[in-house]
Structure 1
């Protein structure tokens, strides 16, 4: 390389020396820019540092990853627990043209009148005793520490252990045969005791009075006790229990009767009423007709 420099310092080469030497010298000068000593150890240390990750970062990354795994596992477990939890079992019982008895998981017994319906969550008993009623039913509620609640479109009834009849077809009519019952509407709340009956008006107010008899339970028991009662109040009760249609002329319907029936056969009931009214009767299938001059 010193020969090249000395040669170059002697002056510019002549054309006679050939342009090839000039080209060779220029190439040499370009290459000489890279002609520097190389520290191999330093270069390796630098490369090694770039390839190997810093130890101070790795533990934090591992910790973050571990936390994320734990959180994901907990979330999955909770989700699985929710998804696999047994859904509430909604039971529905509908009676058609026959009475139907339903025994609830807590031992309470409900007798559904014809064309009535109840709904309840079977899995909630006995922790939550709740029933929805449409129509009419007689309840024999087993005593317990958890209130037994019946809801309907007209109001709510709450008991702990008692027996009563509840009709929700037209508003709310309640007849208590044992224990105490609390009746609630949006506007009123009353306590009803054994031997009392209650009714809720369309305005939501509740009226409570002493029940004169248990005839409104006749649809279930078949027992009736009429004491000088108007025939137009007697016939609907008999129609319901015996599932017949009874017709009379206007004069007979104004009469009053006193009689007792205890699951008495229909034919005997017709004969007794005919005797009391001094009227004639005719039975044709499910239709019964009384005719006569009346009571006057």
Structure 2
């Protein structure tokens, strides 16, 4: 597990106790967004903290007693440095004990796709994974329980094993499968699951809300819960195939899917809402795609700061 910068460790300690300020929360969110590995580490620490309740009820470590001791130290006006050291010791103690109890002596492997190319890998059980650019995955080398933690987007083709369900953890949910293929995208706003074959049990961690997602169904989990709909987006695997297909597709939807594929901000002028596009693009630079759209639909485009705007000339 990578080390935490000191200022992030301090903010994270406050965050886990619910004492962080809005400015500190912003710093933490920016640090998480800098690198998928940061987000993955945050999720691992959050998971350990949430699941350490049973551990902390043992005589090894009394969480309430420790926090009361910290509050008493503040009231007695003890030096802030001592308070910080004690807080850090409690925090490290929770992580160490919970980590030891949850994972034993298993060595964890963390793999990340670069920001310029997808990464294909085979897990120890034979399941295959394709990580989208920038995504990261973590799993125990022994892999006896077939459980991984994901940050970013990935395509899974899970090897069937009726005795050992395959589990994927995100910040919000747990996905459980026996043998199937699907894609999952987890980010700061939502988790989105699209099932290609088989079935996936999609469970929200906080509320335990559970939905079984079938082939050609998409499920989105956000602050409102889990919403299941038929798959209407034919390009949900375009990041893996390099192919974008539009069949009389509204221009605003085209712009949204191009934005996701090319990691750009592409918007349409409000007067284009009735324009539709029929075209197929295969691993083409965005400049070529925009030129083809321009010829096909009598539209034009221009760049404004970091945004590409489609409009009628």
Q: What's the TM-score, normalizing by structure 2?
A: 0.58
Secondary structure of the structure 2 residue equivalent to 1:102: strand
Match of 1:78 in 2: none
Give me the CA root mean square deviation.
2.7
Which has the greater radius of gyration?
1
Q: 2:125 aligns with which of 106, 115, 119?
A: 106
Q: Tell me how far apart the structure 1 counterparts of residues 262 and 191 of structure 2 sit (CA, whole Å).
A: 23
| Runs of 5+ consecutive residues of structure 2 not aligned to the other structure | 1-103
What aligned pairs does 1:130-145 form with structure 2 within 5 A after superposition?
130-145=147-162
Q: Tell me how far apart the structure 2 counterparts of residues 164 and 280 of structure 1 sit (CA, whole Å).
A: 36
Q: Tell me how far apart the structure 1 counterparts of residues 254 and 281 of structure 2 sit (CA, whole Å).
A: 12
Q: 1:163 aligns with which of 178, 181, 185?
A: 181
Q: 2:292 aligns with which of 269, 272, 275?
A: 272
Match of 2:200 in 1: 181
Q: Tell me how far apart the structure 1 counterparts of residues 227 and 265 of structure 2 sit (CA, whole Å).
A: 31
1:130 deviates by 0.2
| Runs of 5+ consecutive residues of structure 1 not aligned to the other structure | 1-85
1:253 deviates by 6.0
Deviation per CA, 1:108-153: give whole Å up to 9, x if none. 1211122222111111x2x210001112111111112311000111
What aligned pairs does 1:114-129 form with structure 2 within 5 A after superposition?
114-123=133-142, 125=143, 127-129=144-146
Secondary structure of the structure 1 residue equivalent to 2:232: coil
Q: Tell me how far apart the structure 1 counterparts of residues 180 and 154 of structure 2 sit (CA, whole Å).
A: 14
Aligned residues of 1:154 and 1:172 also touching (Cα < 8 A): yes
List, as ranges, runs of 4+ consecutive aligned residues in structure 1 with deviation greater than 4 Å: 281-284, 286-289
Aligned residues of 2:255 and 2:268 also touching (Cα < 8 A): no
Secondary structure of the structure 1 residue equivalent to 2:236: helix
Secondary structure of the structure 1 residue equivalent to 2:237: helix
Query: Which stretch shows the higher mean deviation, 138-147 or 230-239?
Result: 230-239
1:93 deviates by 1.5
Matched, 1:200 2:221: yes
